[in-house]
Amino acid sequence: MVKSNTAVMQYPKSEMDQLSDLMDEYGEEIKRLAFTYTKNWQQAEDITQEIFISVYNNLNDFREQSTIKTWIYRIAINKCKDYVRSWHYTSTLLTNTFYQKSDDLSPEEEYLQNEQKEQISQLILQLPIKFREVIILYYFKEFSLEEISATLEINLNTVKSRLRRAKKNMETKMDRKGGV
């Protein structure tokens, strides 16, 4: 039986049905995560497909030592890191990807909020990957520190240290730019 954070995975289902459920639940999140590494939507979509092919090929090997979400994110992060290390990787312009749109704001407020989010997004994507991934997983994907530790396969204290250093780095950059 596959562990999940939701009731998506229920037996008896074929592997294709399980994969479809996983893609429905995590596909968009994984694509956004891939974008934070690639900074290119087309490449993020391609990597997302590769990630779910790996998930499908290894679904029977899932050992239930973590949640399915953590397992999929581990695969995704590894694929993204492989891509960043490859010769295909090139820098591209950032578009705002981390935030959900709010319908409660006036057009002026929405514009100002989008500008602020864009500045924060720019700062996040300027961080080294080891800091960027903990910021994204903690603040945008709402992983606990323990889940981040398991997903990235690093010590819990390392997660805390990277998170603290990433925030300090961003604060320094914000102060230099006059605040966000």
* 72-109 per-position pLDDT tens digit: 999 999 998 888 776 555 433 333 344 445 556 677 77
Q: Do residue 51 and residue 17 come from a single domain?
A: yes
Burial class of 58 by CB neighbour count within 10 A (0 to 12, 13 to 18, 19+): exposed
* Least trusted range by pLDDT, from 3-17, 33-47, 138-152: 3-17
Q: What pLDDT, on a 0 to 100 scale, did the predictor assign at position 51?
A: 94
Q: Is the pLDDT of residue 32 over 70?
A: yes
Q: Do residue 58 and residue 109 come from a single domain?
A: no
Q: Do residue 47 and residue 8 come from a single domain?
A: yes
Tell me which of 33 and 112 has the higher pLDDT: 33
Burial class of 176 by CB neighbour count within 10 A (0 to 12, 13 to 18, 19+): exposed
Q: Do residue 105 and residue 89 come from a single domain?
A: no
Percent of the chain beyond pLDDT 70?
A: 80
Cis before residue 12, ω within 30 degrees of 0? yes
Band of pLDDT at residue 179, cut at 50, 70 and 90: low
Q: What is the pLDDT of residues 53-74, one digit of tens each?
A: 999 898 888 888 888 899 999 9
Q: What is the pLDDT of residues 146-160, one digit of tens each?
A: 989 988 889 999 999
Alpha-carbon distance 166 to 6, whole Å? 31
Residue 137, domain CATH: 1.10.10.10
Alpha-carbon distance 30 to 42, whole Å? 13
Specify the pTM: 0.54
Q: What pLDDT, on a 0 to 100 scale, did the predictor assign at position 63?
A: 81
Alpha-carbon distance 131 to 109, whole Å? 30
As for how many domains the chain has, the answer is 2
Burial class of 109 by CB neighbour count within 10 A (0 to 12, 13 to 18, 19+): exposed
Q: Residue 41's domain spans which residues? A: 1-93
Q: Is the pLDDT of residue 14 over 90?
A: no
Q: Do residue 75 and residue 20 come from a single domain?
A: yes
